[in-house]
A and B are shown apart, each in its own frame.
Chain A
Amino acid sequence: MSDLSASGIVRVSNASKDYRSGSALRGVSFELRKGEFVFLVGHSGAGKSTLLKLLSMAERPSLGEVRVSGYSSSTIKPREIPQLRRRLGIVFQDFRLLPDRTAEQNVAFALEVTGSPHAQIAPKVARLLTQVGLASKATAYPHELSGGEQQRVAIARALANDPFLLLADEPTGNLDDRATHAIFLLLREINARGTAVLMATHDVGMIQRSNLRFLELDKGELVFDGTDTARLLADMRGRR
């Protein structure tokens, strides 16, 4: 099943991803440990989204291996992918809510389609919405919610199946500073309850203030893995 160390939940070994248009990732290696909070930083096109796709097994690496929770990209069977996805939470910059369903229906949807027992859905949805601070807007439709609120719904949905890892692809990219900060705090809180978080962003300030581990991608290569933000600042400014 797994040759990961006891606390390792993700191991990317020398992973490359080539598309017809060119290579998106080259020889990336790193590990994520249980309950960790890690940023993924880099300019647009640096390969952040590609890396997240490899982790959700939406794509397979062209070379190398990606291991997530005992599943290896080189041996996972198509029918095992849904099993893996249920253990991952995924959120995006554009929220991806269903516009014709209310906040609670959007969260319930994730439970319904993964076969949760009917009786357990309503109480669980209520608990999730409370957790993200949206209990009072349960019956609101996405268009009635602010960007930050929509992202909270999306996060509640991502948490529906109790993931061990939350993948967030620039979750604050569409939000103003206040909402960004609130979402970050929410993710930290979720992390504090034991869920590992990998958050892609290009908000250097956030990384700097938090003093957490970050992975820096540049043109598809992993150029830094650590907490030294001084270097990051120089890097990001230098290329801007």
Chain B
Amino acid sequence: MRLALREVLLAFRRAPLLAVLGVITIAFSLFAFGLFGLVAINIRSALRDIEDRVEIRAFLVDGARDAQVEELIRGIVNFPEVADVGYVSPDSALQRARAELDEFRDVMEGTFLPGSVELRLKEGFRDPDRVQQLSRKLETFAVVDEVRYGREWVEKLYRIRNIAGLAGSVLGAVFAMVAIIIIGSTIRMAILARTREIEIMRLVGATNWFVRLPYLLDGTIKGLLGGALAVLMAWGTATMVSRNLMATTFFTGEQVMLGVLAGGMLGLVGSWLSVGRHLRQVWREP
């Protein structure tokens, strides 16, 4: 192990530019993931806020009788997705409108506003599909005239979140490929530079693991450094946005750890793919 670490240091010193380049591409790869991940996280927390307020409002037909309304409410209470239900009578609707839109008080004199039932949904039942399903169920009641909910908003936010996730994955994957290629070629160079040593290692009976270990360590260490750098860059970006644009949520400690580990994995995979192929190439049998 000590010998392997010494080899890694030697490799860093032998090709510092390539080493730095490898670390930076891994960092960019994870930064791309991370940035879009942050966007997704922040949208999700925004969505949660909005979802808390997701309300479905069922406007009732003109002249709905109390018995009908009661029947509707009894039905709604039995829906598993509903947190609570409230009834807004035509009178109170008018009062509310007057209070909220004071300057139009005159206009509303004598107007009629339909009564409505307001529903708040339980957590986990607030995505667009469920909301839509529920509103369809409500529409089956004869007493319900029209169902409204903040549908466009919710759907748009969900769409943005999905796009952010997809863009992050695609961009991150491209950078990951580049990182794997760069790490692979650093290792290729290191192996070609040490053909003779590897040959002799095999000759005298060094195990495959022993021959590979320095290269695998090399890739993994670069990956971990890249991961740490990516977290730093993401943190810098998030701080800047928080300071100048809007409050943002940053990754949790576990997510940060995961990012650094992902860097290590990326480095390991890059070196793994390269090391087997090139070791076979230089292995001139005695």
- Which A residues have a C-beta under 8 Å from some C-beta of B? 52-53, 56, 58-59, 78-79, 82-88, 90, 92, 96, 98-99, 109-110, 112-115, 157-158, 160-161, 169
Contact = CB atoms under 8 A, between A and B. Distances in A.
B170 interface: no
Contacts of B206: 82, 113-114
Interface stretch (B38-46, B149-157, B193-201, B238-246): B193-201
Given A53-B286, A58-B286, A85 B210 contact: no
A161 B204 contact: yes
A113 B201 contact: yes
Contacts of B202: 82, 85
B197 A98 contact: yes
Contact of A96 (B200, B207, B208, B285): B200
Given A96-B196, A98-B200, A112 B3 contact: yes
Contacts of A59: 285
A99 B195 CA distance: 12
- 6 closest A-B pairs (Cβ-Cβ)? A85-B205, A86-B205, A113-B206, A58-B285, A110-B204, A82-B205
26 contacts: A52-B286, A53-B285, A56-B203, A58-B286, A78-B208, A79-B208, A83-B205, A86-B204, A90-B203, A90-B286, A96-B203, A98-B197, A99-B196, A109-B197, A109-B200, A109-B201, A112-B3, A113-B201, A113-B204, A113-B211, A114-B204, A114-B210, A157-B204, A158-B204, A161-B204, A161-B205
Interface string B178-205: 0000000000000000001101111111
- For A82, A113, A158, the residue with the greatest tally of chain B CB atoms inside 10 Å of its CB is A113
Contacts of B200: 96, 98, 109-110
Contacts of A157: 204
B205 A96 contact: no
A59 B284 CA distance: 11
A113 B212 CA distance: 12
Contacts of B204: 85-86, 109-110, 113-114, 157-158, 160-161
Contacts of A82: 202, 205-208
- For B197, B204, B208, B211, the residue with the greatest tally of chain A CB atoms inside 10 Å of its CB is B204
A79 B285 contact: no
Interface in B121-166: none
Contacts of A113: 3, 201, 204, 206, 210-211
A69 to B, nearest CB: 13
A112 B197 CA distance: 12
A157 to B, nearest CB: 7
A115 B210 contact: yes
A52 B211 CA distance: 23
A50 B200 CA distance: 18
A119 to B, nearest CB: 13
B286 A56 contact: yes
B207 A79 contact: yes
B282 to A, nearest CB: 14
B213 to A, nearest CB: 11
A110 B208 CA distance: 14
Nearest to B203: A90
A148 B259 CA distance: 56
Interface in B194-253: 196-197, 199-208, 210-211
Nearest to A118: B2
Contacts of B201: 109, 113
Given A82-B202, A86-B205, 16 more contacts: A52-B286, A58-B285, A82-B207, A82-B208, A85-B203, A85-B205, A86-B204, A90-B203, A98-B196, A99-B196, A109-B201, A112-B3, A113-B201, A114-B204, A158-B204, A161-B204
A157 B286 CA distance: 15
A109 B203 CA distance: 11
- For A52, A87, A115, the residue with the greatest tally of chain B CB atoms inside 10 Å of its CB is A115
B285 A84 contact: no
A113 B197 CA distance: 10
A82 B212 CA distance: 14
Nearest to A158: B204
A93 to B, nearest CB: 11
Interface in B1-38: 3
A161 B211 CA distance: 18
A211 B267 CA distance: 59
Nearest to A109: B200
A110 B204 CA distance: 6
Interface string B263-286: 000000000000000000000011
Contacts of A79: 207-208
B214 to A, nearest CB: 11
